[in-house]
Structure 1
Amino acid sequence: MPAPTPLSPPPAGTALRTLQRWRETEQDERVDLIAEEVPVAMRYNGTAFAVMMATPCDLEDFALGFSLSEGLVTRPQQVLSIDVQPQLEGIELKMTVAEDAPGAALDPANGRLLPGRGGCGLCGTRQLEDVLRPLPPIRDRRSYPPVALQRALAALAQHQPMNAASGSTHAAAWADARGRIGWVREDVGRHNALDKLIGALHHNEHGSEGGLLVISSRASYEMVSKAARAGTSVLAAVSAPTALAIDLARSAGLCLVGFAREGGFNVYTHPERLQAG
Structure 2
Amino acid sequence: MGRVARRWRVQRMTARGVVGAPEDQLAGEEPLEVRLHGTPFTVTMRTPGDDFDLIAGFLVSEGLVRDGEQIARMDYRSGIGATGERDYNVVDVRLAPGTPLPDPSAQRNVYTSSSCGVCGTASIEAVRTVPPYDVGADRCTVRLDHLLALPDRLRDRQLLFDRTGGVHAAGLFTPADGGQEPDLVCVREDVGRHNAVDKVIGWALREGRLPVKGAVLQVSGRASFELVQKAAMAGIPVLSAVSAPSALAVDLGEELGLTVVGFNRGTQLNSYTHGHRLVPA
Of 236, 244, 258 in structure 2, the residue corresponding to residue 240 of structure 1 is 244
Contact 1:44–1:96 (CA under 8 A) maintained in structure 2: yes
- Report Cα offsets for 1:216-248 as digits up to 9, x if no partner: 111111100000010011100111111111111
Q: Is 1:231 aligned with 2:227?
A: no
How many residues were matched structurally? 266
- Report Cα offsets for 1:26-84 as digits up to 9, x if no partner: 43222111000000011111121110000001111111111111112232210011113
**Following superposition of structure 1 onto structure 2, how do residues 185-204 of structure 1 map, counting pairs within 5 Å?**
185-204=188-207
Contact 2:76–2:88 (CA under 8 A) maintained in structure 1: no
Which amino acid is 1:111 matched to? Answer: Q
Of 163, 172, 175 in structure 2, the residue corresponding to residue 174 of structure 1 is 172
Contact 1:170–1:190 (CA under 8 A) maintained in structure 2: yes
Work out the CA distance in 2 between the residues paired with 1:110 and 1:263: 42
Contact 2:138–2:213 (CA under 8 A) maintained in structure 1: yes
Structure 2 partner of 1:269: 273
TM-score of the two chains, using structure 2 as the length reference: 0.88
Which amino acid is 2:48 matched to? Answer: P
Contact 1:143–1:276 (CA under 8 A) maintained in structure 2: no
Structure 1 partner of 2:187: 184
Which amino acid is 1:51 matched to? Answer: V
| Superposition deviation, residue 89 in structure 1 | 7.8
Work out the CA distance in 2 between the residues paired with 1:16 and 1:203: 33
Work out the CA distance in 1 between the residues paired with 2:74 and 2:103: 17
Residues 163, 12 of structure 1: alpha-carbon distance in 2 compared, 3 angstrom cutoff: farther
Structure 2 partner of 1:14: 5
Residues 142, 72 of structure 1: alpha-carbon distance in 2 compared, 3 angstrom cutoff: same
| Superposition deviation, residue 105 in structure 1 | 4.5
| Superposition deviation, residue 176 in structure 1 | 2.7
Which amino acid is 1:131 matched to? Answer: V
Structure 1 partner of 2:14: 23
Contact 2:174–2:182 (CA under 8 A) maintained in structure 1: yes
Contact 1:150–1:179 (CA under 8 A) maintained in structure 2: no
Q: Is 1:116 aligned with 2:116?
A: no
**Following superposition of structure 1 onto structure 2, how do residues 78-93 of structure 1 map, counting pairs within 5 Å?**
78-84=70-76, 91-93=89-91
| Superposition deviation, residue 132 in structure 1 | 2.6
Work out the CA distance in 1 between the residues paired with 2:130 and 2:145: 32
- Report Cα offsets for 1:93-141 as digits up to 9, x if no partner: 2110023323x2442x652111000010111111110013333421422
Q: Is 1:75 aligned with 2:79?
A: no
3-state SS of 1:261 partner: coil
Of 159, 162, 165 in structure 2, the residue corresponding to residue 164 of structure 1 is 162
Structure 2 partner of 1:256: 260
Structure 2 partner of 1:101: 99
- Where structure 2 has 5 or more consecutive residues not aligned to the other structure, the ranges are 81-85, 176-180
What root-mean-square deviation, in Å, do the aligned CA atoms of Structure 1 and Structure 2 show?
A: 2.1
Which amino acid is 2:97 matched to? Answer: E
Work out the CA distance in 1 between the residues paired with 2:252 and 2:57: 20
Residues 166, 95 of structure 1: alpha-carbon distance in 2 compared, 3 angstrom cutoff: same
3-state SS of 1:210 partner: coil
Work out the CA distance in 2 between the residues paired with 1:231 and 1:50: 24
Of 48, 63, 66 in structure 1, the residue corresponding to residue 55 of structure 2 is 63
3-state SS of 2:64 partner: coil
3-state SS of 1:244 partner: helix
Which amino acid is 1:197 matched to? Answer: V
